[in-house]
Amino acid sequence: MQEKRKPSEKSLRGLDFLNLFLADVRDGVGPYLNIYLKASQHWDPAQIGMATAASSIATVIAQTPAGALIDQLRQKRMLIVLAAGLVTVGCFCIALFPTFPVVIGSQILIGIGAAVFPPAIAAITLGLVGHSKLDQRVGRNETFNHSGNLLAAVLAGGAGQFINRKSIFFLVGLMAAASAYTVLRIREKEIDHELARGDGEESEQENQGKGKAENQNKNEGILKLLKDRRILMFATAVILFHFANAAMLPLVGQMLALGGKGKGLDSTVYMSACIIVAQLVMIPSANFAGRLAEGGRKRVFLLGFGVLPIRGVLYTLSQNPFFLVSVQILDGIAGGIFGVLSVLMVADLTKGSGRFNLAQGMLATSIGIGAGLSNLLAGFVVQKAGYNVGFLMLAAIAAVALAVFWFFVPETKAEKAQKSRAATA
């Protein structure tokens, strides 16, 4: 029988605020780092690309082991505390010692810390509420996450305008410290750690007809997951999505920095406006995605993949700051959908396997691979051929991502997948 989870209001509220404070922390200081290094430290696009890629590469290396570790350990809250500490140290070092070696080293620390957050939050969420309430709870997580990004962008824009650009790094470090406090508000005893790794909670009907051999393979390892074609194709689509997506906003930040101050406003204010517009759209987008996903995952996710190539092309039409900010509406739609649906699809694909967090780590590794390639390649392309060519290259990759997801990734919602197979039989 399915277990009905009833976590306390204190734990659920702690999860809310964890997502709020970790919002800007788990993605690092990316766009603001680009502005800071371009406008204040006068780095060239290739150097900035290497600095941004350093965090992504560190994340790639750390994420799958982090997911496997979260599957095995019960100290999930303390892992988040440790990761938040790494991000805090990295942000403070960038602000205080902005030399190339220190920035690269700090970005590596931030990347390692960021590797822990997505699978750890997903694990704690699943362990608290169970599969039956995961759709709406993940939607709520992402709503608080994007609200936190909105808050951070407002504060960062104010700090960049009225204090200085490096104060933004102290702001992110302080948010990381706040997240370490809020995660400890979640009651350890209310987290079902077997459920948190995707084990257990299968209905009696789901268990009927399963052979002994299949039940013996529940706690499958990474090699078993890699043999699942559905997971491989989904990971491929995710890599391509972030290959196209990750460098877009940092490149916008560089264009804003090159434009200098417009109408008395610092470029960090325009960057904050880009983030604010995206987050304002992501809040309802994530909420609706969680609700609509109950009727099927793929049709909702296709919208997120579909707007990305359009966004890349639009960036080539004008360098007007107000136009660039308005294009971020599309980023909000895609980001809100991706944050919710990626977790739900992995939960579907790993239900009963006991490897939910390992798969989350693999997904995060895919994101890191895509983001690292995106920032590294875009930096060199822009330096050689200009910003428009860089954006068109990213738009073309986004179109390939859409095709891969559309044609090769199946529906993962159990009821919808069964109906689809029955219709084609």
The one-letter amino acid at 382: V
Q: What percent of the chain has pLDDT over 70?
A: 85
Domain ranges of the chain: 9-196+226-413
User: What is the model's pLDDT at position 393?
Assistant: 95
Question: Letter for the amino acid at 83?
Answer: A
Residue 213: predicted pLDDT? 41
CA 253/CA 268 separation, integer angstroms: 8
**CATH hierarchy code of domain 9-196+226-413:** 1.20.1250.20
Q: Which of 209, 177, 225, 207 is nearest to 81 (CA)?
A: 177
Write the DSSP string, 231-270: HHHHHHHHHHHHHHHTTHHHHHHHHHHHT--BTTB-HHHH
Over residues 355-360, the mean pLDDT reads: 82
Residues present in the chain in total: 425
Rg of the chain in Å (alpha carbons): 21
CA-nearest of 47, 52, 179, 145 to 342 is 145
Exposed (0-12), middle (13-18) or buried (19+): which is 314, by Cβ within 10 Å?
middle
pTM strictly above 0.75: no
**Quick check: 232 and 366 in contact, CB under 8 A?**
no
For the chain, helix (H) and strand (E) counts, in that order, are 19, 0
Residue-wise pLDDT tens digits, 60-76 = 888 888 888 888 888 88
- Judged on CB neighbours under 10 Å (0-12, 13-18, 19+), 6 is exposed
Helix or strand run (H / E) with residue 216: helix 212-216
Q: What is the pLDDT of residues 374-414, one digit of tens each?
A: 988 888 898 889 999 999 999 999 999 999 999 999 998 76
Rounded to an integer, the average pLDDT of 331-356 is 87
Band of the pLDDT at 216, cuts 50, 70, 90? very low
357: nearest Cα among 66, 54, 7: 66
